[in-house]
Amino acid sequence: MNFQYSDTHLMIRDTARKFAQDELAPSVIERDEKEEFPYEAVKKMGELGFMGMMVSEKYGGAGLDTISYVLALEEIGKVDASACVIMSVNNSLVCWGLESYGTEEQKQRYLLDLASGKKLGAFALSEPEAGSDATNQRTTATRDGDVYVLNGTKNFITNGSNADVVLVMAATDRSKGARGVSAFIVEKGIPGFSVAKKEKKMGIRSSDTVSLAFEDCRVPAANRIGDEGFGIKFALRTLDGGRIGIAAQGLAIAEASLEASIKYSKERKAFEKPISELQAIQFKLAEMATDIEAARHLILHAASLKDKKEPFAAEAAMAKMFASKTAVRCALDAIQIHGGYGYMREYHVERYLRDAKITEIYEGTTEIQKIVISRALLQ
Ligand code: COS
| Dist. CA 379 → ligand 1 center (Å) | 14
7-119 shares its CATH topology with 233-378: no
| Dist. CA 132 → ligand 1 center (Å) | 9
- Residues belonging to the active site: 363
Q: Quickly count helices (H) and strands (E) in the chain.
A: 13, 10
Q: Tell me the per-residue pLDDT of 122-143, one tens digit each, with 9 for 90 and over.
A: 999 999 999 999 999 999 999 9
Mutating to test ligand 1, I would choose from 135, 168, 373 the residue with most ligand atoms within 8 A of its C-beta, which is: 135
Q: Tell me the per-residue pLDDT of 83-133, one tens digit each, with 9 for 90 and over.
A: 999 999 999 999 999 999 999 999 999 999 999 999 999 999 999 999 999
39, 118, 195, 299, 359 from 211: Cα distances, Å: 20, 23, 6, 30, 19
Q: Superfamily assignment of 122-229 in CATH?
A: Butyryl-CoA Dehydrogenase, subunit A, domain 2 (2.40.110.10)
Q: Where are the domains of the chain?
A: 7-119, 122-229, 233-378
| pTM for the model | 0.97
pLDDT value for 2: 61
Domain boundaries 233-378, CATH class: mainly alpha
* Mean pLDDT, the chain, whole residue set: 97
Q: Are 247 and 323 in contact (CB under 8 A)?
A: yes
Domain boundaries 7-119, CATH class: mainly alpha
27, 96, 308, 314 from 251: Cα distances, Å: 22, 22, 22, 18
Residue nearest to atom 44 of ligand 1 (CA): 364
pLDDT at 227 over 70: yes
Instruction: Compute the CA torsion angle 56, 59, 60, 64 (nearest 10 deg).
Output: -10
pLDDT value for 315: 98
